């Protein structure tokens, strides 16, 4: 299911566009100035990818979208590795991922017709228990910010400080989001909340 | 809510207790408190259960084998190669002058145009899925009606073509107009002798960008997408990349030839 550039290029020749021309010159200069490339991000990134994928899967619910999100995060991190000035790489990567996801959601809101390929319980997912009180469905009830906090803290085991950094909010906000998320989820799992209809279909045309 | 107790345990401390972020010297006090407050103890137990369920539900992802798209070295190698091409091309172009031809330009669009292409391909795959399954009305206007192409061209706002894909064994059935992410979108449907259907979706592209062919597959349906001359193209059909790739090239060539003939 991966995206890839095919070896073929429809056309073999094209004119010079000024923007790309300037960028090319910039990169030519940079490639001399920056050799050898900064590798702290690259070295640290690979071992964190499984965790990013797990987090994205829980955040986005459909595995295709989740993997796209993680891939975009990697590309963005590599492209901006000069912006990483030490500190906690994991927190930095999760910040990128959360921002990309927010952009993605904004995009979906603007272009609802694109929100069509959400598969609720992907057939390949072995652990979907199929019950109406599945934790994944409970997660979907939470506002995104609450879902983010809950997953950062529980699934990812981040400290409250790290979660606050990743979300770019004060710790107090993290605590109140966490509290609300846990309350809602508890009510849902205890059967006090009705299993809502599947919100991922909302973009679909009838 | 927590009743003010003798030991002053806050709600935040209960969360910290569950998340193992409580300072060591408070753990025993919280445990004592919970022993005396069953309501809060059951809340804490419920929160713990949520943590367990989340791990049960999602930890398997950690152990899934990673494909190339998650290999940092591969991604870096890909983008380095792209940048080097561009850097080299820029130097050459700089030396020879702006009249020099220059290729490899848009290989660098790592992520930008591909986002748009990806979105468009998903929409096209969805349309394909919806109308290919349609037995009675897969199309709005049949291929033998002369106004098919002019009508769709007018609605999309650019001269379109329904390329002849006879060489691939595909016969044009007809077309329909769809709402799309970039406005009106034309869908041409083709079918081969075996009843297999392939769709060509065309809309105005979001920008002036041009991309190479991009492949995407979802659930047995494959799509080749590209942007060219202000239009976005998606060829969708059964997920056989080589086959759809050939179809895409035919479509590409059909537009190319028409443009050359028009003297562009």
DSSP string, A155-180: IS---HHHHHHHHTS-HHHHHHHHHH
Q: Quick one: pLDDT at residue A130?
A: 47
At residue A112, φ and ψ (nearest 5 deg) are -60, -25
The answer, for B56 touching chain A at a CB cutoff of 8 Å, is: yes
Q: Quick one: pLDDT at residue A184?
A: 94
Q: Measure in Å the smallest separation between the Cα of B31 and chain A Cα atoms.
A: 19
Q: Quick one: pLDDT at residue A4?
A: 39
Q: Do B21 and A78 touch (CB under 8 A)?
A: no
* β-pair type (B183-191, B171-180): antiparallel
> Tokens 């028409």, residue?
B258
Q: Quick one: pLDDT at residue A180?
A: 96
- DSSP annotation of A142 reads S
Q: Map out the domains of chain B as residue ranges.
A: 11-61, 109-261
At residue B196, φ and ψ (nearest 5 deg) are -75, 135
- DSSP annotation of B102 reads B
* Residue ranges of A 9-38 with Cβ closer than 8 A to chain B: 9-17, 20-21, 23-25, 27-28, 31
Which of the four pLDDT bands, split at 50, 70 and 90, describes residue A70? very high
Nearest CA in chain B to A126: B60
How high does pLDDT run on average in chain A? Answer: 74
* Residue ranges of B 89-148 with Cβ closer than 8 A to chain A: 89-91, 93-94, 98, 100-103, 105-108, 110-111, 114-115, 118-119, 122-123, 125-126
Q: Do A114 and B123 touch (CB under 8 A)?
A: yes
Q: Quick one: pLDDT at residue B105?
A: 43
The pairs formed by A155-163 with CB atoms below 8 angstroms and a separation of 24 or more are A155/A54, A155/A55, A155/A58, A155/B54, A155/B55, A155/B58, A156/A51, A156/A55, A156/A94, A158/A90, A158/A91, A158/A94, A159/B21, A160/B16, A160/B19, A160/B21, A162/A88, A162/A90, A162/A91
Distances (CA, A) of A2 to B214, B218, B249: 10, 9, 21
CATH 3.30.420.110 corresponds to the domain A36-118+132-201 = no
Question: Dihedral sign, CA of B88, B94, B97, B99?
Answer: positive
Nearest CA to B15 among B55, B51, B44?
A: B44
CB A197 within 8 A of CB A165: no
Question: Mean pLDDT, consecutive 10-residue segments, chain B of 264 residues?
Answer: 62 95 91 93 95 94 88 77 63 51 41 65 81 78 84 88 89 86 85 88 78 79 84 88 89 81 62
Q: Quick one: pLDDT at residue B79?
A: 66
CB B167 within 8 A of CB B249: no
- DSSP annotation of A68 reads H
Q: Quick one: pLDDT at residue A87?
A: 80
CATH 1.50.10.20 corresponds to the domain B109-261 = no
Of B68, B93, B224, the CB nearest to A21: B93
Q: Measure in Å the smallest separation between the Cα of A38 and chain B Cα atoms.
A: 12
Q: Which residues share a beta bridge with B199?
A: B189, B236
Cα–Cα distance measured from residue B111 to residue B107, given in angstroms and rounded to the nearest whole number: 10
Residue A116 has pLDDT above 90, yes or no: no
Q: Quick one: pLDDT at residue A17?
A: 55
Q: Measure in Å the smallest separation between the Cα of B143 and chain A Cα atoms.
A: 27
CB neighbourhood size of B134 (10 A): 12
């Amino acid at each position: 299911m991966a995206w890839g550039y095919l070896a073929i290029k429809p056309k073999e020749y094209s004119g010079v566009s000024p923007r790309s021309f300037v960028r090319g010159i910039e990169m030519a200069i940079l490639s001399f100035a920056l050799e050898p490339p900064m590798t702290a991000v690259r070295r640290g990134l690979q071992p964190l990818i499984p965790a990013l994928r797990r987090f994205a899967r829980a955040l986005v619910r459909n595995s295709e979208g989740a993997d796209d999100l993680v891939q975009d995060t990697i590309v963005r991190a590599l492209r901006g590795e000069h912006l990483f000035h030490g500190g906690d790489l994991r927190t930095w990567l999760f910040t990128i991922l959360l921002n990309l996801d927010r952009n993605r959601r904004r995009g979906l809101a603007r272009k609802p017709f694109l929100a069509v390929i959400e598969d609720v319980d992907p057939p390949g997912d072995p652990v979907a228990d199929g019950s109406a009180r599945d934790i994944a469905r409970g997660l979907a009830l939470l506002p995104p910010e609450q879902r983010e906090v809950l997953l950062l803290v529980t699934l990812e085991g981040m400290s409250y400080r790290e979660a606050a950094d990743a979300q770019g909010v004060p710790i107090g906000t993290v605590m109140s989001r966490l509290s609300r998320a846990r309350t809602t989820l508890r009510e849902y799992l205890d059967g006090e909340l009705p299993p809502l209809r599947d919100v991922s279909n909302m973009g679909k045309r009838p | 809510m927590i009743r003010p107790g003798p030991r002053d345990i806050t709600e935040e401390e209960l969360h910290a207790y569950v998340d193992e972020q409580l300072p060591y010297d408070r753990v025993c006090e919280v445990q004592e408190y919970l022993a005396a407050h069953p309501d809060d103890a059951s809340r804490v137990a419920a929160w713990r259960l949520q943590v367990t369920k989340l791990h049960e539900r999602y930890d398997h992802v950690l152990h899934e084998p990673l494909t190339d798209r998650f290999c940092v070295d591969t991604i870096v190698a890909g983008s380095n190669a792209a940048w080097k091409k561009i850097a080299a091309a820029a130097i050459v172009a700089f030396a020879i002058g702006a009249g020099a031809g220059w290729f490899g330009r848009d290989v660098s669009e790592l992520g930008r145009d591909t986002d748009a292409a990806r979105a468009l391909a998903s929409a096209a795959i969805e349309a394909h899925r919806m109308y290919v399954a349609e037995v009675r009305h897969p199309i709005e206007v049949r291929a033998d009606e002369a106004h098919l192409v002019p009508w769709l061209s007018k609605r999309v706002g650019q001269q379109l073509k329904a390329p002849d894909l006879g060489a691939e064994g595909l016969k044009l059935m007809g077309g329909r107009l769809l709402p799309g992410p970039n406005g009106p979108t034309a869908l041409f449907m083709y079918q081969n002798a075996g009843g297999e259907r392939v769709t060509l979706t065309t809309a105005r592209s979001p920008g002036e960008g041009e991309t190479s062919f991009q492949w995407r597959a979802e659930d047995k349906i494959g799509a080749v997408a590209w942007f060219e001359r202000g239009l976005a193209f998606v060829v969708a059909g059964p997920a056989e990349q080589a086959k759809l790739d050939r179809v895409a090239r035919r479509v590409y060539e059909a537009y190319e030839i028409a443009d050359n003939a028009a003297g562009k």
